[in-house]
């Protein structure tokens, strides 16, 4: 069995393997292939008659073919359940009957139906029939994402926009991680929203009863994001704040990149390195800066479920100014770790890790290339160099 995978995924795979069914008769979510070599997934699902084991991700029920899901629920008892997965197996007994993590069959069907309705108007990431990207003047490009959202972007950007134009998405693994954790009625905070890739996905997933708090300090990018939010009908559920987020309220110097606009930073050393290494043109601008605690106090959300932090090396300051919010709501965090952020600041990496795992009480998992996650230590992070992390509340 593969090593180093998320324990919930590993436990479900171990149970399925122990059932002894041929791998080709096991249906599992995409990402299980390293754990169950030869298993079938959404790309090549088995017919229900040929299926002996079905692994269901509770947060991705809408991805399961309807005939397979209905057939499995009718023919297979639940033999295993944990916080993330249900395992249904043909010919087995109802071994998980008293497991508190088992979802009633009616609830599984209902959630699958809701999920399929949510995604009916949001095409899959490989959708090819998208509106062609169109230049509309003043450096602006209008494009359609793979999820059916309209987005206004700056045509000069060479970091994010080319991927949005060609693929309709940016960073598939991060997109999957965020999408899997958002449901109707949730509140999503997008710190460093940029052009709104995840703001728009989040607004679509949380629905009319949910809420998105998008925060972007670069004035020109925030103006484009405002238009994108409005064009997609998400204004009523989205708060857009045009400021930086840090440890204190006041102002901060934002270093804006002319072409790599996803790399805008509040750290001058990172901007200086980009200028020296890539010839990037940098513009320094004073912008408002607020703590997340102050923002939350003003907006008074009833819940916060997921916080994405993309601030190019300023993570420690963001978390420092979010202590009360994180203690009160205990949201899942998604953030970037890059050893380059800590160049010339020898203690900064250890300080960020210890703040997350110590005082704030989070467990760190790395998002792998196949979409799975695995626990990581400080030494792992430093050796890997770059990681997208999911931080889950401990305990």
Under DSSP, the state recorded for 173 is H
Task: Identify the pLDDT of residue 112.
Answer: 64
Q: Over range 225-236, report the average pLDDT.
A: 95
Helix, strand, or coil here: 174? helix
Does residue 147 contact residue 153 with C-beta atoms inside 8 Å? no
As to burial, measured by CB atoms within 10 angstroms (0-12 exposed, 13-18 middle, 19+ buried), residue 53 is buried
Contacts of 318 (CB under 8 A, 6+ apart): 191, 245, 246, 247, 292, 309, 311
Burial 7-32 (b: 16+ CB within 10 A, else e): eebbbbbebbbebebeeebbbbbebb
The superfamily in CATH containing domain 134-393 is Vaccinia Virus protein VP39 (3.40.50.150)
Structure tokens at 264: 């805008």
Other C-beta atoms closer than 10 Å to the C-beta of 284 total: 10
CB contact at 8 A, 59 and 84? yes
Domain boundaries, the chain: 7-120, 134-393
Q: How far apart (Å, rounded) are the C-alpha atoms in residues 81 and 67?
A: 22
pLDDT range class, residue 189, cuts 50, 70, 90 = very high
Backbone φ and ψ of 289, nearest 5°: -135, 130
Which two structure tokens, joined as six digits, stand for 302? 């009833």
pLDDT digits (tens, 9 = 90+) for 4-15: 457 888 899 999
For residue 28, give the 3-state DSSP assignment: coil
pLDDT for 117 beyond 60: no
Tokens of 376: 């990581």
Q: What is the pLDDT of residues 331-348, one digit of tens each?
A: 999 999 998 888 877 799
């Amino acid at each position: 069995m593969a090593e180093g995978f998320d324990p919930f995924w590993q436990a479900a795979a171990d149970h399925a393997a122990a059932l002894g069914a041929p791998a080709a008769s096991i249906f599992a979510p995409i990402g299980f292939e390293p754990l169950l070599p030869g298993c079938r997934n959404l790309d090549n699902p088995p017919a229900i008659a040929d299926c002996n084991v079905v692994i269901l991700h509770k947060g991705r029920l809408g991805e399961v073919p309807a005939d397979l899901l209905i057939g499995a629920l009718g023919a297979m008892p639940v033999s295993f359940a944990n916080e993330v997965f249900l395992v249904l197996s043909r010919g087995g007994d109802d071994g998980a009957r008293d497991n508190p993590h088992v979802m009633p069959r009616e609830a599984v069907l209902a959630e699958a139906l809701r999920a399929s309705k949510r995604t009916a108007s949001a095409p899959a990431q490989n959708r090819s029939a998208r509106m062609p990207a169109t230049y509309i003047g003043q450096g602006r490009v209008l494009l359609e994402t793979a999820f059916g959202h309209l987005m206004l972007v700056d045509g000069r950007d060479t970091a994010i926009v080319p991927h949005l134009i060609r693929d309709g998405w940016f960073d598939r693994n991060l997109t999957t991680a965020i999408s899997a954790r958002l449901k109707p009625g949730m509140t999503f905070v997008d710190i460093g929203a940029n052009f709104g890739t995840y703001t728009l996905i989040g607004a679509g997933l949380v629905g009319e009863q949910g809420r998105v708090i998008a925060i972007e300090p670069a004035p020109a990018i925030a103006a484009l994001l405002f238009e994108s939010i409005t064009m997609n009908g998400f204004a009523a559920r989205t708060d857009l704040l045009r400021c930086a987020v840090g440890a204190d309220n006041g102002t901060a110097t934002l270093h804006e990149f002319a072409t790599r606009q996803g790399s805008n930073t509040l750290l001058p050393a990172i901007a200086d390195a980009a200028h020296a290494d890539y010839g990037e043109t940098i513009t320094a601008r004073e912008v408002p800066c607020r703590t997340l605690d102050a923002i939350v106090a003003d907006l008074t959300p009833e819940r916060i479920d997921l916080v994405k932090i993309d601030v190019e090396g300023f993570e420690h300051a963001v978390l420092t100014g979010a202590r009360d919010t994180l203690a009160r709501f205990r949201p899942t965090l998604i953030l970037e770790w890059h050893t380059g952020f800590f160049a010339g600041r020898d203690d900064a990496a250890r300080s960020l890790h210890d703040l997350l795992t110590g005082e704030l009480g989070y467990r760190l998992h790395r998002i792998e290339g196949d979409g799975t996650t695995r626990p990581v230590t400080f030494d792992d992070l430093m050796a890997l160099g770059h990681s997208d992390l999911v931080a889950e509340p401990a305990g």
